[in-house]
Structure formats: C-alpha cells, structure tokens
C-alpha cells in the first residue's frame, strides 16, 4: 500500500495511507525509528446517533491532496449513510516535532445531531511491542505512550468546549484483546487510565451540530525523548494556537519551495505543480543529520523481508544532485558530510546505511565461490566523488571541499584506482546498480570513470598536481577499457555485464537502460557520439516501444514485481527513473528548440501516472499503470526535478531567456 501523503520536518516523517490513516511515524531520524508497527493503523472513527463507521470502511468517500505549494495535506471524507463530512488540514510543524490535524465536522442532516469523532493511537515504540506504557495524564489532558527515551503525547482540543470528552487505554493484539478502538464502536470509551505491554489508546471528541453547520477541533501528536519535552511541545501548541501553527507551517514551506522564481517557458502547468510537489516530497525524506531516505513507505515489509527506509549512497547522490541544481545546497552538504563520516577506512561505501549512520541490512555476501570478496556496489563509492564535484560546481563551497578532500575524495579515488580487473583494466567485479548480479557492469565502470575525473578536477582545484595527473590518467584507462570490452558491435549498444566462470569472461548482451545512461551521465561519451545515439535507439526499441502504457523498463526480461501472466512479451515494468533517463538524453542531445518538443510529453506521462496527490512510485504495472513497489520513491521525484532543470538550462543555451534559474553551470 502506497503512502499518498508524507509530511515531515527533517526530524520526523509521517506517512498516511489512502484512507488518511497514519501508517508511519519516524523519530528521531527520518527513516528510523518507526513507532507505528507494520500491521498498525491510527484508526479514525465516527459515531452518529447510534451508528458507527471507521475510515477504513469503504462507505467513506475520501479524497487526499496537498495544499498548493506547501507541505500541508488536505483530506475530505464524506459518508452518505451518516450524512457527515470530516475535513482535515494536516501538517508537521516545521519548527518543532509536532504532527497537527485541524478537523472540521459538518452535519448534513436536517436536524441537530450528536456526532462523535474518535482518534485511535497504535504505537510500536522503537519498533518493539514489549513494555510500552500508555496512560492518561489529567494535568495535560493527554494520552501519553512511552518506553525508555521515546515519549509520544496525543492530545487535542475543541474550538467550542475545550478538551477531549473521553479517553481510554488498553491491551492491543495480545491476550485476546483487539484494542481500545473496539471500545469506541458503541459511542463511549471506558476511561481506563493506564495499561502496559502491547497497548493502544483512543480519545473522543463529542459535538452537537445543527443542520448544515460545522464545528472544529484540533488533534496532535508530540514526540520527544522526555516527558518534559512533550509537555513543552503541547504548551507551545496551546500558547501559539493550533491554527497559527498550521498557517505558519504552510507559509514556511511555500516560501521554501519558492526560493527561486523559475521561468518555466512552455511546460504544462501540471508539470510545474509536480516539480514543486517533488521538491517538497524530497525534503520530507532528507534527515536534518544528513541521511537521505530512499522511501518512507514501509508497506513493502508486508510482502518482503525489509523496507526501503535506508540511505543508499548512490540514490542519495542523485537526490542531492537535484537539491544542488535547485539551489538547496545545505541539504546536499549534510548528505555528503554523512557519507564522509560513514566511509570505511578502505575508501569504499558499503551497501546501505541507517539514518543514524549505522550499517543497514544487506544481501551482498563477503564470501563467494570459496573466496573472500568486498560486499559492495562500487558505483556507490564512485558516484559520491562525481556528486561532490557537482556540489562544488553549483555551491562553490571551497572550505567544505578542502575539509573532505583527504578524508573522502582522495581516499575513495585511491580505492577506485586499486580496485581493478588486471586482465581488462576495468573495475574489479562488484554488485551492480540493480543489486542483483555480481560482475563488471557498464554502469559501474562508467561511474568509476566519472568518479576519477571528478577526483582529478578536485586535485587540480586544490593544486595537487601529482594526484591530478594520476586520477586523470586512471580515468582515461577506464574509458579505454569500457570502449574496448563493454561495447557490443553486434547491436550497437553496450553489454550489461561481464561475469567470470573460472577464468573465462561471459558478456551479457541484455539491453539495460543503466548501461546507456551511465555512459551519458558520467561523461564516458558525449551525447552526440554516434555510439550513444545507437544505444539510445536500441534502448528505446527494446525497453519502451513494447510497453502498453509507455515508459521504459530497467532491462530485458526484468521480473522484479512483474505480472508475468498479464504481460507476456513485455520486457519489464516501466520505472519513472529509467523513463526520465531517456528524456534527459534527448535534452542533452538537442540542438534546437524543435528537438525538445517531446520533453513536455514525457513529463506529462510522469504526471499522468502519479498518485492523485502527486506521489511517484518506483515502477508501474505495464498494462494497467497501477503503482508497483514503494510510493513515494524519492529517486523518482529527483529525476523529475533534474529533467525539468536540464530542460530549462538547455532552453537558455539555445537562446530562450531563462533568467530566473537559481544556478548556472
């Protein structure tokens, strides 16, 4: 199940499902720890004159959207049987760790009715159910869940009549107890003041509303490490007023996303809106301590072994690049500082990391074919140097560059120099971009070239002549080896992978979008090179033209989340990232405005296949277009931002005035 709404402030990340129910609540890092369990739902229920319904019931007509160019969600929920509408405006306060929901209840019947709204909290504090405590604090008029250094306070007030009307706590999913949410279904809560173990809690707000009139209430969750901290957060809400907090949060994000006054030329307005939405969604997944999360959507855990709530260095680099190209240098800098601190002494990045800088889970072995090996994807190291150069190019942060040169750039570049296949001169085998196969891939080899070129440029910038010559020379050798060993003269493309069985190399001719893209992105070949042009045509023919809904698959015969019985003869699911790679190449190759006409069409395809809220998934069903895997995938949003910026810059190069671009190369 996707997360069509994500809200955050760099310390917490809240994810909601399509029924407006909270399903993820991360703190103290974006991506760690999730205090809502993978089976848990913060239920919302409504009782009207003896009739009851939860938001999870399909009789509710629920629509979700973001409010303009803000990080505020708007929810409208209408129930024909109950003749009631609930309207929410939800924010995560940009200044403090508060999730706030502004509620308006409308009575659509022709007489005054008693309407009761219930909020249920199901927390799995620090991702374990053991030894949680939930209790009612009468001084604060709030329900508090806590364990150790994690304290969550749920509270609220009515616009008329003050505090919540009823509350209860109880056991949840143990000892035959389903949870206190069941207690709400008769319109009353039992008032149990405390419970421990696996627990939940519920609060109720009661209204008497005349026909076609409205009443308001506010609900919030404050999170911190101590009781005094959450008490102070609730005091902040009551002192500053909930409506003021909501309005100032909207104002802040509207100002943040409009940091620059872009001139979008002829781009469709829906593309423009998606561009701004993508910037905001990206920011929700950027932790204030530097980690950039791949996705906060934890629903995938139910169907696999893990989530996407990790920091992949390569994914993070592309996302940081989008932040750099749009002028948000502070976000990118924090990410590279994060990477500087987690890099191994050997000069390489490991598979993925937790947002707190600890090592993430992995399926890459350290022992293979009776031999030790590095459990790495080498492109994750090489791409970091490339990304750092892009960061310097846009930000001109020379002091930061010098600070990380010896500890990161030189260390990583020296590793790339050493980690070589002696027979071919290519990088030694490692796991590829798609994390599935071990060998020497065109994408990884291209990233190594790009990383070494970037290292040479840094050395030149800082006056380190010997290192400059060394890194440039090694980059040249890598490029020569790529063109000699990875070019496929039979189809005019490039091999996906070289693997070894014994001492014999096996070249995989599978057409892979990353092979084409790596060569272009990392500068192995210029866009106008005839080999790039042939590779583009081949990639489009094999991976795009045969997909009913359009878009571009990762590679031929890709089975990841692929509906085989429904999509015979199709290479794989289309991904937003791979689709936009081809668009970016078209932009780079264009020599006239006429050659850019396809760009708007490609970007509209992305918008048309987003969720209603603008959230982009990882991939799509190739026939129905429904989202597959996680949503949002932040790399998808980053590629849209990169594509738009590249398009605007190309227009400027072609003489179309784009004076409002934030940075220029």
Query: In this structure, is residue 660 part of a structural domain?
Result: no
Number of other residues whose CB lies within 10 A of the CB of residue 191: 11
pLDDT > 70: percent of the chain = 98
Report pLDDT for 655.
Answer: 87
- 237 in the same domain as 319: no
Does residue 449 surpass a pLDDT of 60?
yes
Query: In this structure, is residue 658 part of a structural domain?
Result: no
Query: In this structure, is residue 389 part of a structural domain?
Result: yes
Does residue 129 surpass a pLDDT of 80?
no
Query: In this structure, is residue 430 part of a structural domain?
Result: yes
- Judge whether 22 and 64 are in contact, CB under 8 Å: no
Report pLDDT for 368.
Answer: 86
Report pLDDT for 133.
Answer: 95
Does residue 657 surpass a pLDDT of 90?
no
Q: Higher model confidence: residue 500 or residue 644?
A: 644
From 156-160, 192-196, 445-449, the region with the lowest mean pLDDT: 156-160
Does residue 302 surpass a pLDDT of 50?
no
Geometric angle at alpha carbon 163, from 14 and 171, rounded to 5°: 60
Query: In this structure, is residue 52 part of a structural domain?
Result: yes
Q: What is the mean pLDDT of residues 49-72?
A: 96
Instruction: Give the residue numbers spanning the domain of 639.
Output: 259-653
* Residue 455 pLDDT level (bands cut at 50, 70, 90): very high
Query: In this structure, is residue 108 part of a structural domain?
Result: yes
Does residue 584 surpass a pLDDT of 70?
yes
- 169 in the same domain as 118: yes
- 228 in the same domain as 275: no
Question: 243: domain CATH number?
Answer: 2.70.98.10
State how far the alpha carbon of 526 is from the alpha carbons of 531, 533, 629, in Å: 9, 10, 34
pLDDT digits over 462-516, tens only?
999 999 999 999 999 999 999 999 999 999 999 999 998 877 889 999 999 999 9
- Average per-residue pLDDT for the chain: 94
Does residue 231 surpass a pLDDT of 60?
yes
Domain count, the chain: 2
Q: What is the mean pLDDT of residues 610-632?
A: 95
Q: What is the mean pLDDT of residues 57-81?
A: 97
- Judge whether 636 and 277 are in contact, CB under 8 Å: no
Does residue 305 surpass a pLDDT of 80?
no
d(CA 329, CA 624): 39
Does residue 304 surpass a pLDDT of 80?
no
What pTM did the predictor assign? 0.96
- 322 in the same domain as 218: no
- Judge whether 321 and 642 are in contact, CB under 8 Å: yes
Does residue 117 surpass a pLDDT of 90?
yes
Does residue 97 surpass a pLDDT of 50?
yes
* Residue 571 pLDDT level (bands cut at 50, 70, 90): very high
Answer with the one of 251, 270, 298 that is the final residue of a domain: 251
Q: Across the chain, which distance is largest between two alpha carbons, in Å?
A: 85
Report pLDDT for 306.
Answer: 82
Q: Helix, strand, coil % (nearest 5) of the chain?
A: 35, 25, 40
- 264 in the same domain as 245: no
Report pLDDT for 176.
Answer: 77
Query: In this structure, is residue 665 part of a structural domain?
Result: no
Beta bridge partners of 51: 48
pLDDT digits over 159-203, tens only?
876 889 999 999 998 887 889 999 999 999 999 999 999 999 999
- 374 in the same domain as 391: yes
Q: Higher model confidence: residue 422 or residue 665?
A: 422
CA dihedral 378, 379, 381, 383 (to 10 degrees): 170
Which residue in 123, 116, 125, 127 sits closest to 86, CA to CA? 116
Q: What is the mean pLDDT of residues 366-390?
A: 94
Strand ranges of the sheet holding 22-29, from the earlier edge strand across to the other edge: 5-8, 13-16, 22-29, 32-34
- 312 in the same domain as 222: no
Answer with the one of 207, 228, 251 that is the final residue of a domain: 251
Beta bridge partners of 63: 76
From 90-99, 255-264, 576-585, the region with the lowest mean pLDDT: 255-264
- 277 in the same domain as 188: no
Query: In this structure, is residue 493 part of a structural domain?
Result: yes
From 121-125, 221-225, 307-311, 564-568, the region with the lowest mean pLDDT: 564-568
- 272 in the same domain as 246: no
Q: What is the mean pLDDT of residues 427-442?
A: 95
Question: 551: domain CATH number?
Answer: 1.50.10.10
Residue 200: helix, strand or coil by DSSP? strand
Does residue 552 surpass a pLDDT of 60?
yes
Q: What is the mean pLDDT of residues 224-241?
A: 97
- 558 in the same domain as 523: yes
Residue 572: helix, strand or coil by DSSP? coil
Answer with the one of 251, 281, 302 that is the final residue of a domain: 251
* Residue 663 pLDDT level (bands cut at 50, 70, 90): low
Pair of tokens at residue 339: 């990477």
Which string of DSSP letters, residue by residue, matches 254-308? Answer: HHHHTSS----TT--HHHHHHHHHHHHHHHHTB-TTS-B-S----GGGGTSS--S
Report pLDDT for 303.
Answer: 45
- 439 in the same domain as 294: yes
Which string of DSSP letters, residue by residue, matches 160-207? Answer: TTEE-SEEEEEE-SBTTB--GGGGGGGT------EEEESEEEEEEEEE
- 369 in the same domain as 231: no
């Amino acid at each position: 199940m996707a997360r069509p709404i994500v809200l955050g402030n760099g310390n917490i990340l809240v994810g909601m499902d399509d029924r407006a129910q909270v399903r993820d609540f991360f703190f103290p890092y974006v991506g760690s720890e999730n205090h809502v369990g993978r089976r848990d739902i913060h239920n919302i229920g409504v009782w009207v004159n003896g009739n009851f319904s939860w938001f999870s019931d399909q009789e509710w007509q629920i629509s979700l959207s973001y409010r303009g160019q803000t990080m505020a969600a708007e929810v409208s929920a209408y129930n024909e049987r109950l003749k009631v509408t609930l309207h929410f405006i939800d924010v995560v306060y940009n200044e403090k760790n508060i999730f706030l929901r502004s509620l308006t209840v409308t009575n659509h019947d022709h007489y005054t009715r008693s309407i009761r709204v219930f909020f249920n909290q199901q927390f799995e504090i620090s991702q374990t159910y053991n030894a949680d405590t939930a209790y009612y604090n009468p001084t604060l008029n709030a329900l508090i869940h806590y364990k150790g250094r994690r304290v969550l306070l749920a509270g609220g007030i009515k616009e008329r009549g003050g505090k919540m009307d009823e509350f209860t706590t109880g056991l949840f999913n143990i000892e035959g107890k389903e949870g206190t949410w069941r207690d709400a279904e008769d319109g009353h809560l039992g008032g149990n003041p405390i419970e421990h173990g696996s627990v939940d809690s519920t609060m109720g707000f009661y209204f008497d509303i005349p026909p076609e009139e409205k009443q308001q209430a506010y609900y919030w969750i404050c999170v911190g490490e101590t009781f005094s901290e959450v008490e102070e957060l609730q005091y902040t809400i009551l002192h500053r007023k909930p409506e003021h907090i909501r309005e100032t949060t909207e104002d802040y994000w509207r100002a943040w996303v409009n940091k620059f006054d872009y001139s979008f030329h002829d781009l469709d307005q829906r593309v423009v809106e998606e561009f701004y939405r993508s910037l905001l969604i990206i920011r929700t997944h950027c932790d204030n301590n530097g980690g950039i999360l791949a996705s906060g959507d934890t629903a995938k855990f139910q169907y696999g072994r893990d989530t996407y709530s990790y920091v992949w260095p390569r994914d993070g680099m592309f996302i940081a690049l989008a932040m750099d190209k749009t002028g948000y240098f502070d976000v990118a800098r924090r990410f590279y500082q994060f990477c500087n601190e987690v890099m191994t002494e050997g000069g390489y990045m490991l598979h993925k990391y937790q947002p707190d800088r600890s090592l993430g889970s992995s399926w890459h072995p350290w022992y293979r074919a009776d031999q030790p090996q590095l459990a790495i994807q080498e492109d994750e190291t090489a791409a970091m140097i490339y990304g750092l150069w892009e960061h310097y190019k846009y930000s001109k942060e020379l002091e930061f560059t010098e600070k990380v040169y010896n500890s990161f750039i030189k260390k990583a570049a020296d590793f790339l120099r050493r980690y070589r296949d002696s027979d071919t001169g290519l990088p030694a085998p490692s796991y590829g971009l798609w994390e599935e196969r071990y060998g020497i891939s065109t994408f990884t080899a291209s990233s190594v070239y790009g990383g070494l070129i970037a290292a040479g440029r840094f050395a030149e910038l800082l006056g380190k002549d010997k290192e400059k010559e060394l890194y440039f020379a090694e980059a040249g050798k890598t490029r020569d080896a790529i063109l000699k060993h990875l070019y496929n003269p039979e189809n005019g493309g490039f091999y996906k992978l070289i693997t070894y069985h014994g001492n014999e190399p096996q070249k995989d001719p599978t057409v892979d979008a990353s092979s084409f893209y790596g060569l272009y992105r990392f500068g192995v070949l210029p866009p106008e090179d005839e080999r790039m042009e042939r590779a583009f045509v081949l990639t489009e023919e094999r991976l795009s033209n045969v997909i009913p809904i359009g878009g571009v698959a990762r590679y031929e015969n890709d089975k990841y989340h692929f509906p085989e019985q429904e999509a015979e003869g199709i290479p794989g699911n289309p991904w937003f990232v791979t689709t936009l790679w081809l668009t970016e190449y078209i932009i780079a190759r264009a020599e006239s405005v006429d050659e850019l006409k396809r760009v708007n069409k490609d970007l509209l395809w992305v918008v048309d296949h987003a969720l209603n809220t603008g959230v982009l998934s990882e991939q799509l069903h190739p026939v129905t277009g429904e989202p597959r895997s996680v949503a949002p995938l932040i790399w998808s949003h980053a590629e849209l931002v990169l594509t738009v910026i590249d398009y605007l810059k190309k227009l400027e190069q072609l003489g179309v005035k784009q004076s409002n671009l934030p940075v220029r190369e």
